[in-house]
Each structure stands twice: as structure tokens, then as C-alpha cells.
Amino acid sequence: MKTKLIINEAQLKSLSNFILEDTNHCNVVKSIEKDLKGNYRKAIETYRDGNDYNQRKCFEIIFDGQLISPDKLLEYFKLKYNYGEMFLKQIINDWCDSKINNGILSKNVGLYEWQVDIKNKIKIKLREVYGGFDTYLEGAYEECLTENIYTSTVDDKKKWVTYNQVILELKHTLKDMLRVKELQYKLTESENPDNTCIEVLSGLDNMTPELDRLYHKIKNF
């Protein structure tokens, strides 16, 4: 008897856990960034070191004008917020250097010390359902998919999970690696992934019920 791997909402649900975690991570960063902007100003402190005068980064407390060092601010935030030291330190450093981009830090640090890098967690989950991204094209697609799941809006994250469901169905059910490669290449390069998926699916001679469902789902995006 032929065994058929059904690609359904299970993969979407599994990856959605990471989407929600990522969204929560961004919201926490934005909240603490708002605290920093509302209560501190970035400043440069001149200090004497022997016969030399040097400068170092610090923060001015808006309320009373006093200066506080990054280390002292970190100690205060560790008492104020129930998050890991590495996470709080990264927020302070990135805010000081203007490197926070819409809730995303310059370095992926989990809310707590035990958390694994979010992008790596996404890649692990993707490989569980796809297999190894061994070729250059697969590697480029994996990076593109991971980046979009990590950095996009919640709605766009869900779209990219759906595009990947199409690839999973093509690979595991139809075993059409030519179409898999075509779609991976086009999604990596495309500025309109909705149209890309619809175009590839429209060219299929054998549309499975799952691909038909995904086709109409993408048409309604």
C-alpha cells in the first residue's frame, strides 16, 4: 500500500508557535524601548584617566538630569523587568547605538537565558518537515523563508508558512522535485510571492486536494 504524507495545518500550527513567540519578543523589545525613550537620553560622559581625558557612553535620566552608566542601568532593569540579563543588555546596547528596527534587535537574544536563538529554532522546525536543505538553491530558499518568518508582520509570516506548505506537498506527495526547485528559485527572487505560487500551481497537470486548498487560500490573500 502506498503511504501518502498529508501536509495539513499541523505544520502551520507548529510554526505558528514560533510566530507567536517571535511577535511576543518584538512586543517586549518595543515596550522596553519605549521606556528607554521616555525616561533616558543618550549621552557621552567625559572622564579623566590619569593625565588623559576620555569619553564613554552613558545615559541621562530625564527626571533629574543625572548620568547613569550602561552597567548601572542594566542592574536597574534586571530588578524592574523579569527577563534575562543578556536580553536586557542587548536592548540597552542596541538602543544606545540606534540598532533596534521595529522591535528587532541586531543580535537574536531570547527573552530568557535558556532560550535558543529564534532563527535557529525556525530552521530546526523547517527541517523537521522538509528534510535537509542541502543544495545551494535549497540553502538560499531556507534563508529567505527563515528571514521572512522572522522579520515580517504576523500576516506575512503566515503567508510564507503557506507558501512552504505548497513546497512540502509538491515534494512529499507529488514528489515533483522539478516544481519544488522552480518554486524555491522563484520565491527566493520574487517580489510577489502570491502570484508566483499561483503561477506554478496553475501549471500543474495533477493538482492534489491539498494543493487545490492551498491554491485557493493563496488567491484569497
Q: What is the pLDDT of residues 140-191, one digit of tens each?
A: 999 999 989 888 888 898 899 999 999 999 999 999 999 999 999 999 998 8
The dihedral sign for the CA sequence 133, 172, 197, 217: negative
pLDDT of residue 111: 83
Instruction: Evaluate if residue 11 carries a pLDDT over 80.
Output: no
Q: What is the largest CA-CA distance in the chain?
A: 85
pTM value? 0.55
Residue percentage of the chain with pLDDT more than 70: 88
Question: Which of the 8 DSSP states describes residue 3?
Answer: -
pLDDT of residue 9: 52
Give the pLDDT mean for 192-209: 94
pLDDT of residue 4: 44
Cell reading at 120: 535557529
DSSP character string of 156-193: HHHHHHHHHHHHHHHHHTS--HHHHHHHHHHHHH-S-H
The confidence band for 135, taking pLDDT boundaries of 50, 70 and 90, is very high
Instruction: Evaluate if residue 15 carries a pLDDT over 70.
Output: no
70: exposed, middle or buried (Cβ count in 10 Å: 0-12, 13-18, 19+):
middle
Cell reading at 181: 526547485
Q: How many of the other CB atoms lie within 10 Å of CB of 169?
A: 25
Tens digits of residue pLDDT in 34-87 = 999 999 999 998 888 888 888 989 999 999 999 999 999 999 999 999 898 999
